[in-house]
Amino acid sequence: MSWLTNIWDWITGKSSKVEAIRQVTAAMCGFLPTAETVLNILALNNPALLLAEQIGAAICRAVTPSKTLGLVSELPQVGGVPVEGEWVRR
């Protein structure tokens, strides 16, 4: 039954890896991505986006406006995946 629990946790975004990525991202820039966003980024199977820190940094870059260009993306994305979530700290 534990394999079924693991699959359910993965589908619902409650796996320890997904939660770790969410918490790392929140600690890095104050943005807490949704579990669905994290799962979709992991589904890309991008070798540059495997570690929690790599994914967190990519999400933070996407949601943080560029200070040099003054641009604010209306729909931040990582690898084509829309980034959704909420600011927990700015």
Torsion of CA 57, 59, 81, 85, to 10 degrees: 150
Return d(Cα 53, Cα 28) in angstroms, integer. Answer: 9
Strand-pair partners of 87: 31
Residue 7 has pLDDT above 80, yes or no: no
- Which helix (H) or strand (E) segment holds residue 81: the answer is strand 81-82
Quick one: pLDDT band at residue 16, thresholds 50, 70, 90? confident
Residue 26 has pLDDT above 90, yes or no: yes
Under DSSP, is residue 30 helix (H, G, I), strand (E, B) or coil? Answer: coil
**Which residues fall within 8 angstroms of residue 68, CB to CB, at 6 or more apart?**
none
Return the higher-pLDDT residue of 13 and 59: 59
Domain that holds residue 52: 2-87
pTM score: 0.77
Residue 25 has pLDDT above 90, yes or no: yes
Domain count for the chain, please give it: 1
Residue 82 has pLDDT above 70, yes or no: yes
